[in-house]
Amino acid sequence: MSHHLFLTQEHEMLRDQVRRFIAEKVHPAADSWEKDGCVPRDILRQMGDLGFLGIRYPEEYGGSAMDTRATAVLAEELGRSTYAGFAITALVHTDMASVHLYNAGTQAQRAEHMPDIIAGRKIVAVAVTEPDAGSDVKSIRTMARRDGDDFVLNGAKMFITNGVHADLYCVAAKTDTQGPASQSVTIFLVEKGTPGFSVSRALDKHGWCSSDTAELSFQECRIPAENILGQEGKGFYSIMKNFQNERIVLGAMAMGEAQAALDLTLDYVKTRQAFGAPLWSKEAIRQRLSMLSARVTAARQLVYATAARDAAGEDVVKEVSMLKALCGELVNDVMYDCVQFHGGTGYMRGSAIERMARDARVQSIGGGATEVMLEEVAKRL
């Protein structure tokens, strides 16, 4: 489907390339990834070889130096794969975790890690969420106290995507207990195997089953001060800044999921016979699917318009908050009706639409819950 108003031929070439990769490498194998609870590292390295893990990063590190619109294309096509656990594994690496290293890291930090990140040789996770702090970043409790040339981390992180198998973790911790919360958060680069850092447990989720998700523990974990990403005490602003990119990614991914669900359901209702005719002959069904298709088309255009404005350097906080709320709710509306129109088949484990409905549920929660997003919109109305 063309988005020529916002995309160039280069963007559409990327779309075609991602779509071919999914057809050849993902669809034949992804059911086993769902059972294993993770995406094989070899698949991520293959994505690196094709340039999918560095589309926004400079060529000097092996990237393609494209823009926000390319991110939206990648996210939408990964969402269309029907395996959202696979999609989020890659997208956390490319657009939610490694961006902290690239945006705030020193030249030395970038030179050491970015080529391996873009090639898929090192996988990255971002550790902000805690048992008692999700969208409210100021409430994190993980602490980092200064001790000579080091910081010592203590605390726990929860619901960390790529948390089990990552090599590098961008960890948010408070370095000041006295000042305002917005001036107290610092992001540290923590490598797997650092003494005092451990994966407490892998988490069993309702959906996104091929995405490894973990609870992390830091107990007297000593980190060199040179591992700070950016400035001490400025991590809150880095997290807030990248939320805009993350939410565009999640909105695009959700619309890819929604379109794939509609496509599957249209195929099903046009062939499934009931009362002597295809389900498509029922006015209620075809009108409902038509309205859902209209809403998805409109929401997708908002995603790409916002991505284009973001690429142009405009302030799009309101629009990003809108699209995150809209797309997160809409994908669940789509899945509800698509399961309904599949009948008993849609409720059976092993059917694509059942898996997709489970996967979609988190889209109104993760990356900024709908209610939080709507408050951000309300502040700007």
Q: How far apart are CA 307 and CA 324, in angstroms?
A: 12
**Distance separating the N- and C-terminal Cα atoms of the chain:** 32
pLDDT in tens, the chain (381 residues): 455 689 999 999 999 999 999 999 999 999 999 999 999 999 999 999 999 999 999 999 999 999 999 999 999 999 999 999 999 999 999 999 999 999 999 999 999 999 999 999 999 999 998 887 666 677 789 999 999 999 999 999 999 999 999 999 999 999 987 778 788 899 999 999 999 999 999 899 999 999 999 999 999 999 999 999 999 988 888 888 888 999 999 999 999 999 999 999 999 999 998 888 999 999 999 999 999 999 999 999 999 999 999 999 999 999 999 999 999 999 999 999 999 999 999 999 999 999 999 999 999 999 999 999 999 999 999
pLDDT of residue 134: 61
Q: What is the CA radius of gyration of the chain?
A: 21
Q: How far apart are CA 331 and CA 77, in angstroms?
A: 15
pLDDT of residue 1: 47
pLDDT of residue 177: 79
Cα distances from 367 to residues 31, 33, 363, in angstroms, run 25, 23, 8
Which domains does the chain carry? Answer: 9-123 (1.10.540.10), 125-233 (2.40.110.10), 236-379 (1.20.140.10)
The residue type found at 62 is G
Active site (annotated) includes residue 246:
yes
- Set 34, 130, 215, 246: catalytic member: 246
pLDDT of residue 178: 79
pLDDT of residue 139: 79
What's the pTM?
Answer: 0.93
Question: What residue has token string 């956390």?
Answer: 92
Half-sphere exposure of 157 (CA within 13 A, CB side): 26
Report residue 266 as tokens.
């249209």
Query: What DSSP state is assigned to residue 309?
Result: H
pLDDT of residue 39: 96
Q: How far apart are CA 256 and CA 81, in angstroms?
A: 8
Q: Which of 182, 342, 190, 363 is nearest to 272 (CA)?
A: 342
